[in-house]
Amino acid sequence: MTQQDTLILTASCNSRLGTVDAVTGYLREQRCYVADMQTFDDARAGHFFIRAEFRKPDSGEFDEAAFRDGFAPRADEFGMQWELTERSRKPNVVIMVSKFDHCLNDLLYRYRTGQLAIEIPAIISNHPDLQRLADWHHIPYYHLPVTAETKAEQEAKIWQIVQESQADLVVLARYMQVLSPQLCNQLAGWAINIHHSLLPGFKGAQPYHQAYAKGVKLVGATAHYINNELDEGPIITQGIQTVDHSHYPEDLVAKGRDVECITLAKAIQYHIEKRVFMYQGKTVVLGS
């Protein structure tokens, strides 16, 4: 089986008898073999989620339009919101970054080696520092400096680049600027941010130095969709590493960077593999 032969069907609806059969029964009728499937029924919310990867029929031409037309009335019967995606399709991902390069470096490595099946049509930064890294990967780099006075104009350029790049996803790989409510609303549900997660929460400058002073025992990171609440959007993935008294602030920073890279990459992977459902302000991640 190749990715070219595989599609992903995702759907969600109110919890009702027959929801699984509505999907798997139709796939069987179309002679499509289900290679992987996850479901979740939220008993409290009364809502059902399903993700199915399936192979096209071994013989004959697969007509995607006819497949969609045939499934639509079954989905309508259950009030399903659904999506059909080619497994091999590489989404366009625009990356935004400031000066810290660890997450960008990690994503570019995974992109270059094929671990992340994406295209990167643009890298946007408010600093010029990472231009050479983008040039080495032959990716257009847009340096858009920003001040309080130029923020609206700068974000308008960001939005223009995102649109012209036909971006499917925007990733804030340590972009150290607070986005305006307007841009947050425009990117809601398809922009992922990464930030450190320390308990207790240390805000402001040098959070790892603050954590060291309190004898922190865990460092972590959170990847989430952005919204108008700073660093409080729907969470996709989180990661942690244990530390102890022997870790100095510089050690905590290094550990934190490692966790940020892994956590962000996982979140992007789950998003492009259509594993993430947004519902009632939080996420359901199937097959994570």
- Final residue of a domain: which of 56, 86, 116? 86
Known catalytic residue at 231: yes
Q: What is the pLDDT along the chain (288 residues), one digit of tens a residue?
A: 456 689 999 999 999 999 999 999 999 999 999 999 999 999 999 999 999 999 998 877 789 999 999 999 999 999 999 999 999 999 999 999 999 999 999 999 999 999 999 999 999 999 999 999 999 999 999 999 999 999 999 999 999 999 999 999 999 999 999 999 999 999 999 999 999 887 677 777 788 889 899 999 999 999 999 988 777 899 999 999 999 999 999 999 999 999 999 999 999 999 999 999 999 999 999 987
pLDDT at 3: 61
Query: Are residues 35 and 173 part of one domain?
Result: no
Count CB-CB contacts under 10 A for residue 175. Answer: 23
Strand order across the 81-86 sheet:
33-42, 47-55, 6-14, 81-86
Query: Are residues 38 and 138 part of one domain?
Result: no
Tell me the helix, strand and coil percentages in the chain, rounded to 5.
35, 30, 35
Query: Are residues 269 and 197 part of one domain?
Result: yes
- Say if residues 217 and 242 touch (Cβ distance below 8 Å): yes
Listed in sequence order, the residues at least 6 apart from 169 whose beta carbon sits closer than 8 Å to its beta carbon are 91, 92, 93, 94, 118, 190, 191, 192, 268, 271, 272
In the set 231, 244, 251, 258, the catalytic residue is 231
Q: What range defines the domain where residue 56 resides?
A: 3-86
- Final residue of a domain: which of 86, 108, 131? 86
Query: Are residues 137 and 20 part of one domain?
Result: no
Q: Does the pTM of the predicted model rise above 0.85?
A: yes
* Structural domains in the chain (count): 2
Count CB-CB contacts under 10 A for residue 225. Answer: 21
pLDDT at 2: 58
pLDDT at 201: 75
- Final residue of a domain: which of 66, 86, 106? 86
Domain of residue 266, CATH code: 3.40.50.170
